[in-house]
Each structure stands twice: as structure tokens, then as C-alpha cells.
């Protein structure tokens, strides 16, 4: 699907777009014809992305923003409505690993910051963009989660709990949207060569892992009008199953 223009004329928003999987997803969406709304905190990374997207003959709107600023998300929703009147694709990719630690040793501020990014920010995106997605003829939303939500290994409790909460929230939202044209799913990218992975597994050889560019097209597939399933967990390693 990735060599087609299945997203031509569509507006796709990607969070965490300044590096890693989000950067690769934004590039892939642009390659497939989308106008990309790229959201991230790092201006330099967004500018690099813009250069790449322009070089392939596509266009992007850069939005330097901290996703924990809920009012900024609301303003972005209003701006998208004023400019396009709808949002065709939402890729909620931004995430925080937090600390890998025994649960009693985790500081409250670290616990709160991980849930702010991995759960609350995605709730604010849903809240602000719901009507925009409904205005599309084939609104699609996908949120990046992790197998940690299911395995909940020792020392991974904070990250695992946040991703399990994200999965539950997306499952509920998908059910609420069942009678609309909007499809809502979760994506498990597996082990990918990213900065977050390197932080979590510092002893691992990054060259043994797939690159973000290898994995991103599978995620972008989920915001294509051609993908008509909803309430699914799409796992790169294990396939698809209902949430």
C-alpha cells in the first residue's frame, strides 16, 4: 500500500513527529499524498522533517507544542477546523518511557508525567479532534501502545500501566464510534531502533532492530480509508486481534 497515493488530499496529524517512529510516520504519510500536521516539542526535528517532506513534493504544517498543554491541543483543534474543516487521520505516537524501577521507588512526579503524556494527552486529542474526525468521509485514529501493556514485567510497572490505560481508553472510544465512519485502533510497533528503546535496553545492539522507516508504513496503513476495522490491536509481531 505504501507506494500508492491512498492519502492524497487528506489531512493527517502525527504527534511525536520530530524523531523516531513519529518522524518516519509523518514522512510516509506525506509520501502517500497527505498534508501532514506535525506536532512535537523539538523545533529542529520538525524543521528537518519539513525539509524532507518538501523534497518529496508534499507539504506539512509544523506545530511546536508540548502535548501536556491541554489548552494548546484545544487551540490546535480550532485551528484545524478553521483551515480544513475536518481531520482525516490522527496518529497518536508521542510517548514517555519514564523510569524502569520497582514501583515503590518511583517518584510521584515521574508517575504523573508518564500518565500525562501516554494517557491524558491522548484523551485531550480525542476530546479536541472527535468532531473533526467525524467530519471526514473516513476518519481514522491510531494510538501507539506497547506489548508492555499486556506483559507488565517487573520494573516496567509505570510504563505498562500507562499503556494498559491507553488501550482501555481507545477500546471504549472505538466502541462509542462504532456507528460512525471513524475507525479507532491501537498499534504495537514491537522492538524498533529508537531513542526510547535505547534508553530502555542500553546493552542491546540497535542494528539488530528494524528501523522506524521499516515499521512506520504499517502504522500509517491504519489511517488509510482502505483500513476499515476498528477496536483492534495491530501488533507488528503478532498480527491483529480485538482490543
Cell of residue 40, nine digits: 512535537
Separation CA 167–CA 186 (nearest Å)? 7
Separation CA 226–CA 141 (nearest Å)? 13
Cell of residue 145, nine digits: 501502545
Cell of residue 16, nine digits: 511525536
CA distance readout (Å), 183 to 42, 52, 57 = 29, 29, 28
Cell of residue 144, nine digits: 501507539
Catalytic residue numbers?
159
Query: Which own/partner contact pairs does 171-180 have at CB distance under 8 Å and 24+ positions apart?
Result: 171/231, 171/243, 173/126, 173/141, 174/230, 174/231, 174/243, 175/231, 177/230, 178/230, 178/231, 180/134, 180/139
Map grid coordinates 512535537 to a residue: 40
Amino acid at each position: 500500500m505504501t507506494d500508492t497515493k491512498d492519502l492524497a488530499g487528506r489531512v493527517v496529524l502525527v504527534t511525536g513527529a520530530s524523531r523516531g517512529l513519529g518522524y518516519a510516520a509523518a514522512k510516509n504519510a506525506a509520501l502517500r499524498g497527505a498534508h501532514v500536521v506535525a506536532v512535537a516539542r523539538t523545533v529542529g526535528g520538525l524543521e528537518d522533517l519539513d525539509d524532507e517532506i518538501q523534497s518529496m513534493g508534499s507539504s506539512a504544517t509544523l506545530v511546536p507544542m508540548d502535548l501536556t498543554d491541554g489548552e494548546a491541543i484545544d487551540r490546535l483543534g480550532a485551528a484545524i477546523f478553521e483551515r480544513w474543516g475536518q481531520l482525516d487521520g490522527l496518529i497518536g505516537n508521542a510517548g514517555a518511557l519514564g523510569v524502569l524501577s520497582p514501583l515503590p521507588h518511583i517518584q510521584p512526579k515521574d508517575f504523573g508525567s508518564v500518565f500525562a503524556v501516554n494517557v491524558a494527552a491522548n484523551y485531550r486529542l480525542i476530546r479536541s479532534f472527535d468532531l473533526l474526525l467525524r467530519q471526514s468521509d473516513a476518519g481514522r485514529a491510531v494510538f501507539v501502545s506497547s506489548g508492555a501493556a499486556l506483559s507488565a514485567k517487573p520494573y516496567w510497572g509505570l510504563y505498562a500501566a500507562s499503556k494498559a490505560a491507553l488501550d482501555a481508553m481507545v477500546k471504549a472510544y472505538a466502541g462509542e464510534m462504532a456507528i460512525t465512519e471513524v475507525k479507532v485502533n491501537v498499534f504495537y510497533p514491537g522492538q524498533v531502533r529508537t531513542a526510547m528503546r535505547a534508553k530502555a535496553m542500553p546493552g542491546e545492539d540497535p542494528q539488530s532492530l528494524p528501523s522506524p522507516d521499516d515499521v512506520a508504513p504499517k502504522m500509517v496503513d491504519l489511517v488509510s480509508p482502505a483500513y476499515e476495522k476498528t477496536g483492534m490491536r495491530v501488533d507488528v509481531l503478532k498480527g491483529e486481534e480485538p482490543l
